Amino acid sequence: MDSTASEKPQQKARKLKDFSDGTKRYRYTLMVVSIIGGFLLWAVITLIPTINTFLASPKQVFAALIAESMANGRYFKDISISLQRVLVGFGLAFICSIPVAFLMGWYPTVRNLVEPWIQFMRTIPPIALIPLVILAMGLGEPPKYTIIFIAAFLVMVVTIYQGVKEVDKTLIRAAYTFGASDKDLFFDIVIPASFPYILVGARLGMAASLTTLIAAELTGTTFGLGARIQGAQQFMDTSIVLLGIITIGIIGFVLDKILLLIEKKLTKWK
Amino acid sequence: MAEALISIKRVHKEYKVEKGANVNALNGVTLDIEKNEFVCVVGPSGCGKTTLLNIIAGLETFDSGSVSMHGQPIVGPAPERGVIFQQYALFPWMTVRKNIEYGLKFIRKPVQVEQTDASGKKEIVTVMQKFTTEEKRRLSDHYIKMVNLSGFENSFPKALSGGMKQRVAIARGYALNPEVLLMDEPFGALDAQTRAQLQEDLLKTWEKEKKTVFFITHDVDEAVLLASKVVIMSARPGQIKEIVDIDLPYPRTQATKLEEGFIRYKNYVWDTVYKMYLEIPK
């Protein structure tokens, strides 16, 4: 029997940095610690009256949550209206960005005609477009959809178009040697190869939609999480402001996780 | 003399690199590839060997000269000229089986069918038909077995090692039953053992099917072991320096490398290649 097998090494090996995330248990434990720690810190600093005047305590935010959802049900109305705006704006952008991105990737003429405008528009914060959009569309829902649409569309077009352009050229050459026509190449190779980029684009577009939501709801509305935050600011009701912020954060987190799940399902081969 | 399977005559090709500086990739290359030959091309990097392969494949154009197959000019890629790339070029979203079957959708096979014409006379005519799903499956099964990948039919390429990926690429190349296989340093990225194994497998397949192969490598050992004809190319300008017929009997195996004849050829080819290498200004 090998007697050295069970012997411990005499020196403890130096732990080298390997940039790993650690075990699953380690990760989840730290996540819970982080969340609880954050709440505790928040609870403690809001005990200081000067801070509490501009930052509501967790207890106050929880009270606001109960009041907003129980008393008048406004909370859920805000959520559903905001969610609707995000999903409509994002959905339209998703549907439009895919063909535009593929046309840009496939035809150099389209690419060269459209790209300068996309690059130009990308640097403009959507919020700057609000006056024009209101003048053009008035105060109903369409201006909100439009603002979100623009933000999400630009992000998605750029991402997906990059994907189309960066399809591995060896795969294209391989397909040609099999006898593929340009049409076969587009449907059999280019589309599936850019699939991961479509999904990444969707996630970036969703994030852009949510960040633009507040801007979109500045265009005159009484309902919606953005509008609610705006309104509460005027009454210095920071508990409702924080409630709105946290809610938007949670919605963003959940939507991103859903898209991530779809991505994992659809690109198992990656 | 009968026309060679592939005939390359005085092919010139220049690449434009920045501001007027042109690289003479191919300078009057003339080469015949006969049916059932195993041609290996060796030469230093920059000698235009990959350019030559791409031109035969129809993936690249050239400035002057002619390239033809069966006397017909090559104007673009076609399944009669299968290409195996160094980077495997497997479609990552397709399983091993799907990768092998994909190219079959472009291939038509002749089928004899009985037809009745207007006057009621029956006749046998040949029509070109697509492969059915079952036929594709049978073919992919056959070639998966040939490259020893049974059990991996439904794996995606990412789950395979480099050697396995190249086996899939080779199976895919053979499944389309091309008249000539163009292989661009197919084993260049593999470790020594895998390379030796795949060389033997390729030899065995070639000895059995006698499919014409045009094989590019920078490894002199590999070239002499595989080829019936080694083409030595020189760089700047890229041209054919010498063609050496390798008069060693098949079947060959890794053990062939120990034979005196092999060593003589190898030394000869290596000396020629290395002399050219030393002449290149560095």
Contact call for residues B190 and B158 (beta carbons, < 8 A) = no
Contacts of A195 in chain B (CB under 8 A): 93
- Closest CA–CA distance from residue B101 to any residue of chain A (Å): 11
- Closest CA–CA distance from residue B50 to any residue of chain A (Å): 13
Give residue-wise pLDDT tens across range B108-152.
Answer: 888 888 888 778 888 888 888 899 999 999 999 999 998 889 999
- Interface contact flag, B57 A177, Cβ < 8 Å: yes
Contacts of A173 in chain B (CB under 8 A): 59, 77, 83, 85, 89
pTM: 0.84
pLDDT at A127: 81
Q: Report d(CA B110, CA B129) in Å as an integer.
A: 6
Q: Does the structural domain A73-266 have CATH classification 1.10.3720.10?
A: yes
CA distances to A222, B46, B86, B185 from B188, in Å: 67, 16, 7, 5
Maximum distance among all Cα pairs of chain A, rounded to whole angstroms: 87
Those of residues 145-174 in A touching chain B at CB distance below 8 A are: 168, 170-171, 173-174
Give residue-wise pLDDT tens across range B40-74.
Answer: 999 888 788 999 999 999 999 999 999 999 999 99
- Interface contact flag, A174 B85, Cβ < 8 Å: yes
> Any chain B CB within 8 A of the CB of A185?
no
Contacts of B76 in chain A (CB under 8 A): 176
Q: Report d(CA A115, CA A122) in Å as an integer.
A: 10
DSSP string, B179-219: SEEEEESTTTTS-HHHHHHHHHHHHHHHHHH--EEEEE-S-
Search chain B and give the residue with CA nearest A169.
B89
> Any chain A CB within 8 A of the CB of B228?
no
Those of residues 148-177 in B touching chain A at CB distance below 8 A are: 156-158, 176
Question: For residue B16, what are its two tokens?
Answer: 């434009």
Element containing residue A110 per DSSP (H, E) = helix A108-122
Least trusted range by pLDDT, from A36-40, A112-116, B46-50: B46-50
- Interface contact flag, A269 B83, Cβ < 8 Å: no
Contact call for residues B58 and B77 (beta carbons, < 8 A) = yes
Q: Report d(CA A144, CA B22) in Å as an integer.
A: 56
- Under the banding of pLDDT at 50, 70 and 90, the label for residue B92 is very high
ipTM of the prediction: 0.90
Please, is B115 exposed, middle or buried when counting C-beta atoms within 10 Å of its C-beta (0-12, 13-18, 19+)?
exposed
Q: Report d(CA B282, CA B280) in Å as an integer.
A: 6
Angle A225-234/A191-216 helices, nearest 10 degrees?
A: 30
Contact call for residues B218 and B45 (beta carbons, < 8 A) = yes
How many other CB atoms are found less than 10 A from the CB of residue B10?
12
Q: Between A and B, how many residue pairs show a Cβ–Cβ distance under 8 A?
A: 58
Which of A178, A263, A268 to mutate to probe the B interface, most B CBs <10 Å? A178
Domain architecture of chain B: domains with CATH:
1-80+179-282 (3.40.50.300), 92-177 (3.40.50.300)
> DSSP assignment, residue A48?
S
B2, pLDDT greater than 70: no
> Any chain B CB within 8 A of the CB of A177?
yes
- Interface contact flag, A189 B83, Cβ < 8 Å: no
The one-letter amino acid at B241: K
From B41, B47, B44, B48, select the one nearest B231 (Cα to Cα).
B41
- Interface contact flag, A188 B107, Cβ < 8 Å: no
Q: Which residue has the tokens 């996540």?
A: A31
Q: Report, in angstroms and rounded to the nearest whole number, the Rg of chain A calculated over CA atoms.
A: 25
Search chain A and give the residue with CA nearest B58.
A177
Among the partner-chain residues A171, A179, A184, the one whose CB lies closest to the CB of B91 is A171
pLDDT at B56: 96
How many other CB atoms are found less than 10 A from the CB of residue A147?
27
> Any chain A CB within 8 A of the CB of B76?
yes
Give residue-wise pLDDT tens across range A72-112.
Answer: 788 899 999 999 999 999 999 999 999 999 999 999 999 99
Q: What are phi and psi of B235, to 5 degrees?
A: -100, 155
Domains of chain A by residue range: 73-266
Among the partner-chain residues B79, B85, B176, the one whose CB lies closest to the CB of A170 is B85
**Which residues, at least 6 apart from A67, have a Cβ–Cβ distance to it below 8 Å?**
none
- Interface contact flag, A269 B93, Cβ < 8 Å: yes
Search chain A and give the residue with CA nearest B95.
A269
